[in-house]
Amino acid sequence: MKKQIKIGLLLLILGMLFIPILQICFSFSNEKPLQGSFELSPKPNTITISDWLNGKYQEEYTNYFDAHIGFRPTLVRIFNQIQYSFFKKTNAKDVQIGKDNYLFEGGYIRDYIGYSFIGENKITEKVKRIKNIQNELKKDSINLIIVFAPGKASYFPEFFPSQYDTTTKTLSNYLCYVKKCEELDVDFIDINSSFIQYKKKSKHPLFPKGGIHWGELGVAIAFDSITKYIEQKRSINIPDFDFSKIEYPDNLLNSDRDISDAMNLFFEYKYYKMPKPYYIFKDTIDTEKPKLLIIGDSYGYGLTNSVLMNKLFSNTEFWYYNREIKPNRKNHSSKVEDINVKKELKKFDVVLLLSTETNLFKFDFEFTDSYNNIIKK
Distance CA 76, CA 286 (A): 57
Q: What is the mean pLDDT of residues 109-138?
A: 94
How many degrees, rounded to 5, is the angle at CA 363 between CA 362 and CA 369? Answer: 100
pLDDT tens digits, one per residue of 142-185: 999 999 999 999 999 999 998 888 888 889 999 999 999 999 99
Q: What's residue 38's pLDDT?
A: 57
Distance CA 317, CA 327 (A): 7
Residue 175 near residue 148 (C-beta atoms within 8 A): no
Distance CA 85, CA 279 (A): 40
- Beta-ladder partners of 46: none
The proportion of the chain whose per-residue pLDDT surpasses 70, expressed as a percent, equals 79
The proportion of the chain whose per-residue pLDDT surpasses 90, expressed as a percent, equals 57
Helix (H, G, I), strand (E, B) or coil at 135: helix
pLDDT tens digits, one per residue of 123-132: 999 999 999 9
Question: Would you kindly state where each structural domain of the chain is located, as residue ranges?
Answer: 2-71, 95-371
Compute how many other C-beta atoms are within 10 angstroms of the C-beta atom of residue 190: 19
Q: What is the mean pLDDT of residues 357-363?
A: 94
Residue 337 near residue 153 (C-beta atoms within 8 A): no
| pTM reported for the whole predicted model | 0.83
The answer, yes or no, to whether residue 57 has pLDDT greater than 80, is: no
How many degrees, rounded to 5, is the angle at CA 198 between CA 159 and CA 103? Answer: 25
- Beta-ladder partners of 314: 291
The answer, yes or no, to whether residue 187 has pLDDT greater than 80, is: yes
pLDDT tens digits, one per residue of 281-293: 987 788 999 999 9
Q: What's residue 170's pLDDT?
A: 86
